[in-house]
Amino acid sequence: MLYQPRKVYEMWDTWMYYHKGTHYLFYLHRTDQSVWRGSTLIAYWDGISVATSHDGVHYEEVGPIIHKADDAIWLGSGAVWQTGSTFIQNFSENREGLQGVYFAESDDLIHWRRLGNEYRCVPDPRWYDVTPNGRWDCIWRVPKADGGYWGYLTARPAASDTVVGDTVGRVVSQDGRHWQAVPPPQFDWGNSAPIQVNEVGAVERIGERFYMIIGNSENYFGSRHTTEQIGGSAGMFLFSSVTAEGPFRPEIDAFRFLTSSHGATYFARFYPTPEEMLVSHHAIERCGDDPRIWMSPLKRAALDSKGHLRLHYWHGNDVLKGQQVPLDLSMLEVIKIDASSGAAWNLAPSRCEVAQDYTGALGLFPTRFDVNKGVMIEGALWVDKAAPGWSSVGFFIEREGTSSGTTGTAVLAQTRSRTEIGHFSISEHGVYFAADDMGDQGIAASQSARFRFLLRQTMIEFYLDDLLIRSYSLPTPPSGRLGLMVESGHAIFEDISAWEMTV
């Protein structure tokens, strides 16, 4: 939504480091669309780039800083930390079919010098798979209580009796430069059915617990036991432990840390700053012949009122608000969904009230927003709970290629503790909504909630009371027309403001 590089073809995983008022955004890149030797693809992600920002929102591309070694097949993700007056960056390379972790150092976070092979960190065959089927990728450093550091990385232990244990390894260092493999951390699924997981994003201590975010999907055949959402979820999942050594257990009430049914977001990394713990991640388009990758807005990782680690709106993103877009709710274009439903609209410049029974209501803004530049909309929502069912309230995004103005995507926060997103259409054949994604937070009935809605090109973010409800990638580009929606109930929209984005 915020940033795409221009000096390389595409970005992937992100990791960040804060130093003296500057945000350094590092990301895995591929230099060209493809790198082939004859008919064989020999390189995909082949380097690391950096961009800098003074506000965490607007980035200036510096460009490539590390390229894969000549004898490496590809280069993998890393992380950055400081050791004394020097910055250290790790990354993996696959050489002759075997993966190892390598290091570089820098004095300014821009210019990097590779450290020699004597610093290379490799798996120990006593505990890890050292065949070409193994993994050894991306150390995330955590200070030890007695000095030195633990490191967590994506690995394949030689033997494991838990599904998650097949993807997590551990290393140790006294100086942050020299690392040795140690046995993998312990995991305990408790009464939960395990799912197959794939890659470790990061580990940090927040409050009294150590939190680990791990990526993959609930849709692997044979490990779909936790799948209760529409289409399952893919992305980043959350585990925690009272000690750095484990056992790490799934955070049952906040397990789906950053997910979607179609994998729109991936490889979240913790991003410590002096004021707060943030999270970076990338987002993935899903339309067009060549879907691209975006750097997403930073999120704040904080414990909610129930003690669960959640992603929240980061107020540094307020600098995205540019020129204000005038909105007059009394000018909404009311779309008749069902003439027999008795929907009653009460429109005023700063307030819209809709009451209707068991159908829906849609009102389109007369403004056509510049979705290429991006738009932010904020305000308040209120909806009651239809008896004996539930109600929902939210937004409509018209998509390109339609003439009626009533075909697009709906984002519906519901009073049954869920938010659904999917295809919405009104035609001569009827009114239809088919959800293709679902979050496990909704809106409380008869309680006002503040919302934030961000849209740029095909990427969406939706927050309620600053809690991230969903990041979503539209299946086709939006037209620029947006609307307010209610399903089965009585709703109020008020105090709504909109701004063009400054990116």
- Residues 436 and 261: their CA atoms lie apart, in Å, by 7
pLDDT (0 to 100) of residue 401: 67
CATH (one of 3.40.50.1220, 3.30.70.20, 2.60.40.1180, 2.115.10.20) for 79-313: 2.115.10.20
What pLDDT sits at residue 323? Answer: 97
Every domain of the chain and the residues it spans: 79-313, 322-501
Residue 160 buriedness (CB in 10 A; 0-12 / 13-18 / 19+): middle
Q: What are phi and psi of 309, to 5 degrees?
A: -75, 125
Buried b or exposed e, range 338-364, using 16+ CB within 10 angstroms: beeeebeeebeeebbbbbbeebbbbbb
CATH 3.30.1130.10 describes domain 322-501: no
The per-residue pLDDT for 99 is 92
Total-model pTM? 0.94
Contact 157, 200 (CB under 8 A): no
d(CA 24, CA 48): 12
Q: Do the Cβ atoms of 3 and 34 come closer than 8 Å?
A: no
Query: Do 260 and 268 meet the contact criterion of CB atoms below 8 Å apart?
Result: no
Q: Helix, strand, or coil here: 166?
A: helix
Distance, C-alpha 311 to centroid of its chain: 9
The answer to whether 304 touches 467, Cβ cutoff 8 Å, is yes
pLDDT value at residue 43: 55
Average pLDDT for consecutive 10-residue bins of the chain (503 residues)? 95 97 97 68 82 98 96 93 96 91 98 96 94 92 94 87 70 97 89 73 95 83 60 84 92 90 91 97 88 94 93 98 96 80 84 85 93 97 86 93 77 95 87 91 95 97 97 94 93 97 96
Per-residue pLDDT, 257: 94
